[in-house]
Amino acid sequence: MEPLPIVWFVAVALLWTGYLLLEGFDLGVGMHMLVGARSESDRRVMLNAIGPVWDGNEVWLLTAGAATFAAFPLWYASLFSALYIPLVLVLLGLILRAVSIEYRGKIVSRVWTRFWDWSIGLGSAVAAFGIGAGLALTTTGLPIDANGDRVGGPFVWLTPVAVLGGLALVGFCLVHGATFLALKTDGPVRERMRRLVPRLAPVALLPIAGWAILVEVQGGNVFSWILLGLAVVAGVVGWIFARAGREGRAFTGFAVFGALGAGSIFAAVFPVVLPSTIDAAYDLTIWNAASGPYTLGVMTVVTGVALPVVLAYQAWTYWVFRKRIGPAHLPAAHDVTPAIRQAGAAR
């Protein structure tokens, strides 16, 4: 048995889990800008809470996608072929969100800022739903044939499982984002999120629990069931700390819930990376979807050198911007004049 495909399956699972945990609260904050903010000050506080880290968190999506492509090219090709439409929507949502964050503060205008607020919220919701749907389908199955090609029309992926996965990630992001805001902000936003999390979590986390149980019933093993049990315990602990107003421990509890929940799902499907709903003989596994030993070996060496540097840099970023932010820290809103116009005016 070749060890490298197993190593890279674990690595890909960790990268996707890292992305869900880090980008999860970003997406949740984006959605809360629509439903959880009461004033322009609230929305600016929310946006500034994720301002220093949101683009760094998105790197995990690129890394997870690139690792999937390089280590398991057949998995990547089949997944993107079968889920072409939802993945395009995910990319559009992420692009819309990124552009909105960059442009929202350029002009002081209620119409301008509210337009970009809706763009941030909708882009975050679409991205979260699409990623959740895609991950749910890759763990429960798609109609792929012996060549890994999709069988059926372009909307064959739109199943109850896809909707469940989409709702699961949206719900997790809302809870994770609210807990993050309670931890990182001060003032009205913090107080509102502290009250919201204990009421939101029991309902919003139900879809992700349903997704995990579905995967476990379909092909779970002792190890994956243990991980799922620990995830439930972590979620309950996070909820208890949220009720007690301990934001840091609540955030940790829900983060551990997400990590162990994702771990239980990946452990349950191992060694299958994309089940076929047509015939189990067409399943893509880490053995028939992996790159050759040379490619995996080079990837392992490069990752062993680069990954610690990336992790250290991101940890330093979080340390530098570790303090809470509140309305008192916001500078006065002002129009931003493009540099090219400033240069023209100076001539």
Task: Dump pLDDT digits (tens) for 183-217.
Answer: 999 999 999 999 999 999 999 999 999 999 999 99
Question: CB-based burial of residue 340 (10 Å sphere; 0-12 exposed, 13-18 middle, 19+ buried)?
Answer: exposed
Backbone angles phi, psi at 334, to 5 degrees: -155, 155
Query: What integer pLDDT is reported at residue 188 of this predicted model?
Result: 94
Residue 332 pLDDT > 80, yes or no? Answer: no
For residues 43 and 328, the answer to whether their CB atoms sit within 8 Å is no
For 285, list phi and psi in degrees, rounded to 5. -120, 175
344 pLDDT higher than 70: no
Distances (CA, A) of 49 to 53, 295, 321, 342: 9, 40, 9, 30
Say which residue, 344 or 104, is predicted with more confidence.
104
The overall average pLDDT reported for the chain is 91
Give, in words, the CATH class of 3-291: mainly alpha
Find the radius of gyration of the CA atoms of the chain. Answer: 21
Q: What pTM was computed for the model? A: 0.92
pLDDT band at 247 (very low <50, low <70, confident <90, very high): very high
pLDDT given at position 341: 66
64-90 pLDDT, tens digit each = 999 999 999 999 999 888 888 889 999
Question: How large a percentage of the chain has pLDDT more than 70?
Answer: 97
Cα separation, 199 vs 191, in Å, equals 14
> Is the peptide bond between 5 and the residue preceding it cis, with omega within 30 degrees of 0?
no
Mean pLDDT, residues 31-47 taken together = 92
Relative orientation angle of helices 206-219 and 110-140, to the nearest 10 degrees: 20
For 178, phi and psi rounded to 5 degrees? -65, -40
Ordered by start, the domain boundaries in the chain are 3-291
